[in-house]
Every structure is written in structure tokens, then in C-alpha cells.
Amino acid sequence: MNADLSNDLLAWYDRHARTLPWRVPPGSGAKPDPYRVWLSEVMLQQTTVAAVKGYFERFTARWPTVEALAAAEDADVMAEWAGLGYYARARNLLACARAVAACGGFPRTEAELRTLPGIGAYTAASVASIAFGQRAVVVDGNVERVMTRVFDIATPLPAARNEIRAYADSLTPSERPGDHAQAVMDLGATICTPRSPACVVCPWREPCLARKRGVQKDRPVKPPKREVPQRRGVVYVGRREDGAWLLETRGADRMLGGMLGWPGSAWDRGEEEAPPPVAGPWTALNTEARHGFSHFALGLRVMVARLPLDTQAGQASFVPADRFSPDMIPTVMRRVLAVALTSPLIADAEPTVQA
């Protein structure tokens, strides 16, 4: 490994490490809690630190240990995860917590961690190094950006993955591997940023090849992107005379699986039309609810109805008004609600919701 580069980075980290709820400050001597490290790493998968902070605080306050989380109700965990996205993570989180609790604790090696649900190459390496001090090669988006710049790797992603891993391996020390991993990520998050890297204050400004050649903003090289397809669908926002909302728990094999949502067409499978979930005076609203996903854009026609007290919920179920909160449902469903609330049929003394 390259000792000079590694030492310079660790010295920088000792002075400039970010203070984060799941992190033990460098030099404090305290040992990180594997549960908190694992939970934070899962939440941080493709998710920004700013977005995770609040969720992490709420989760650890409500479930302080992996045993507590393992004993939680599925619906409670899904509701607490609502809004964070990538809901398969929440389902895998529970499965993992229960497997770990059954074993009496987290495994300490990268290979064993890798077998647990929701733990892939990155998370296994980061937990092994940060929580257990094992030397492991941690590669995330930050590491990819930093490596392609320091070593000026011009191969486009994802073909450059092996090359990146080899360089990351060459820099990973046997001492303080966890701090090293967090240091590269802090560097990527605060200095070696995607748009305008602050090379002037970078601990690696001297050895950085991309900076020397003036191409740091062009690293990493990304593959050309394709256009996002447009999809349409219909949703039914029904409200009983007593204020209860007609909602359904989405199947685990669908998008937003396990989450609460409005009944409607299977827009995640390209289905644009669907009959109402229950018979009623359904009327269409003029405004459609729009939402952008990573790989397609969605427009939903919103149907609303005020339903009689004796309405049978069928496949769906009625959630009483005092037990419903927009925080319980994914963002796209919140957006639908915001549109639905423009109708007096539904709004009726309800507080306004922002999408």
C-alpha cells in the first residue's frame, strides 16, 4: 500500500472528520456500535447524509439495539422508513436484523456479512472495517470519484470498476482501515465533490494526476444516459363519511412493496387502467399527479369519491382519519394526496398537505 498517501489522508481526517450521529470521532478511543454502523450504512445506500440523519435518529431512538429492531412489527418499520426510498432496503433490514439477532450478534468478517440480506460488497466491507477494524476494500461512489481523479482513470464506468478497486486496495492500510474508508468518503463528500472540487485544500492535491492534467471535473467518465420513458396510470383516493381513508398495503413483489398506498392500476407494470377498488361515486380530477422516478416518469389520473359508511373495503382497507398521516406513505402517494385534497369531496376539514 502507498504509505505516504494513506498517512496524509489519515492526518487530514484527524483534523477534518465530519461529526455524524453514527460515527465515533477519530482518536476518541471509543468503539463503534456495529448495529449503528450497519443501520447507517444501509440507510446511506444511494442516499445523502442529510436525508439519512433524521431517519437514523428516529430509528435508533425507537429501536436502540438489533434485538429491538428484530422484534419490531413489519408495518411499523415500513412506516418509519416511508419517504427514504428504495423500500427493499427496509424489508432486507428487518430480515437481516432477525438473522443477526438469532445468531447472537453481527458476524465480524466481510465474507460472513456479505451473506446477510441487504448487505452487498460495499456494506460488508464498510461494516467489517468501521465496526470491527478489519482491513477491507471499501468502494462507493465517493471512492470511485476520488480514485478516478487521483490516478486519472479515463475508462468509463462501470467498466473501470476493477481498476478502481485495485487502486483503492493499494491505498487501504492495515492500521485504521475504518478511518481510512471514512476519510476517503469525507474527502469525496466535502472536497473532491462531483461538480467543483476544492483541489486547493485537498490533502492529495500534489499526487492527484487528474488535477495535474486539469481533467478532474471530467472524472469519472460516465456512460451516455438514455431517455426516461413516460408511464401513466390511475389511482383511487376514497374517503368514507367518517373520514377514514381507503388504502392498501402494496405487495412485496411490486414497486414500493410493503408500503401503504392508494389503490389503482399497476403503473409499475405498465398498466394504465384499472377498475375502482370498491363501487362508489368516483369522479376524475382535472390535475394529474406527476412524479419522477430514477428510470421513468409517472403521470397518475386521480379519481376521488366520498364513500358511504357501509362500504366494504374489499382488497383494500379503511384507515381511520386519526390514525392516518401523510408521513406514512411514499412521496408519490403523498403527491397524489395533495392533488386529491384540491377536491372538496376529499378535503373536508383536512389540513393541507405539501407534496
Partner DNA sequence: AATTCGGGGCG
Partner DNA sequence: CGCCCAGAATT
Q: Known catalytic residues?
A: 41
Helices and strands (DSSP H and E) totals, the chain: 13, 7
**Which residue has 465515533 as its cell numbers?**
24
Q: Is the Cβ of residue 124 or residue 150 nearer to DNA in the bound state?
A: 124
Q: Is the Cβ of residue 265 or residue 311 nearer to DNA in the bound state?
A: 265
Residue 22 three-state SS:
coil
* C-alpha to C-alpha distance for 213 and 145, rounded to whole angstroms: 16
Total residues belonging to the chain: 355
Looking at this protein, which amino acid is placed at residue 297?
A
Q: Least CB distance from residue 145 to DNA, whole Å?
A: 5
Q: Least CB distance from residue 231 to DNA, whole Å?
A: 10
* C-alpha to C-alpha distance for 104 and 99, rounded to whole angstroms: 9
Q: Least CB distance from residue 128 to DNA, whole Å?
A: 11
Q: Is the Cβ of residue 156 or residue 281 nearer to DNA in the bound state?
A: 156
Q: Measured in whole angstroms, how far is the alpha carbon of residue 219 from the centre of its chain?
A: 24
> Can you give the binding site for DNA, defined by CB under 7 A?
18, 20, 22-23, 40-41, 44-51, 83-88, 92, 117-124, 126, 140-142, 144-145, 158, 161, 182, 185-186, 188-189, 194-196, 222, 225, 255-256, 268, 291, 293-295, 330-332
CB 125 within 8 A of CB 138: yes
Looking at this protein, which amino acid is placed at residue 11?
A
Q: Is the Cβ of residue 160 or residue 304 nearer to DNA in the bound state?
A: 160
Q: Least CB distance from residue 101 to DNA, whole Å?
A: 17
Q: Which residues contact 294 (CB under 8 A, 6 or more apart)?
A: none
